[in-house]
Amino acid sequence: MRNHRLDVQPIAGAMGAEVLGVDLSEELDEPTFGEVHRALLDHGAIFFRDQDITPSQQMAFAKRWGSIHLHPHMPCLPDHPGIIEVVKKETDVHTFGGNWHTDQMFTPTPARVTMLYAKEVPEAGGDTAFANLYMAYDALSDGMKAMIADLRTISLYDKKKKRAATMKPTEPENDPEPAEHPLVRPHPETGRKALYISYEGITRHIAGMTEEESRPILSYLMNHATRPEFTCRFRWRPGSMALWDNRRVLHLAINDYNGYRRVMHRITVEGERTL
């Protein structure tokens, strides 16, 4: 396969692109990595098809983006610290990641990039949806932009979330520490402003306001941010790899395949402090 000058093909009007001509089992040279990085900044989520990679090769690629962000509550593969096996079995009803969110927003240095590699997928269903938070911010009225400009949000780990039975989080010993983030987050690399928010189980309230006061504003912003015209949807095949930029996209695992099995390998790369 070629190792530079990529073919990048958008998959929807709002965001997301397939990147052709890259073999992720090989170490990418600097110009090729630079182009992949550019594609991620431009499209928010990028997708590679027909990859045949080992956990070690996935980890080597992940480390090109920064330090691995260990999820504080989800166990990793025994031989590969940093890789979470996201499994939904035929008998599971709930899924992992089944609400709109941006990864590990309940920590002070939430994930920068997430990398998800498909091992086993149902014949149909189990797509992942993404939403473009630059577009969501840009489409707000000037009045709303002014009102939320300096607000901060308080996020917490969602202990009550129903996950696939196989995905058992370790119980936090103490109540999780809240994490504070700006509601409007300038992207650390592009400078563009994005809404920065997750579903109500994580983004609990606006700093200085009660949950009751905050909820109408946060619900409005979540509904707005996930309008279909701001989204794309990726259909997996075994060997597909997705990378997304959590600093400016939301994502959601669509739970429409009860009775079928889906297995993915997930790595997150640590991001910057937001404040």
- Binding region for ligand SIN (CB under 6 A): 86, 96-97, 103, 114, 116, 128, 251, 253, 264, 266
Which residues does residue 206 pair with via DSSP β-bridges, in sequence order?
A: 153
Amino acid at 157: Y
| Structure token pair of residue 170 | 């370790």
Amino acid at 59: M
DSSP H/E element including 86: strand 84-88
Active site residue 266: yes
126/217 with CB nearer ligand SIN: 126
Q: How far, in Å, are 148, 221, 233, 268 from residue 264 at the CA level?
A: 36, 30, 17, 13
193/251 with CB nearer ligand SIN: 251
Question: Which among 43, 69, 71, 101 is annotated as catalytic?
Answer: 101
Active site residue 101: yes
157/206 with CB nearer ligand SIN: 157
As measured in angstroms, the least distance from the Cβ of 130 to ligand SIN is 10
Active site residue 251: yes
| Structure token pair of residue 255 | 């739970």
Question: Which among 185, 204, 251, 265 is annotated as catalytic?
Answer: 251
Active site residue 235: no
CA–CA gap between residue 36 and residue 50 (Å, rounded): 17
As measured in angstroms, the least distance from the Cβ of 164 to ligand SIN is 10
Catalytic residue numbers read 101, 103, 251, 266
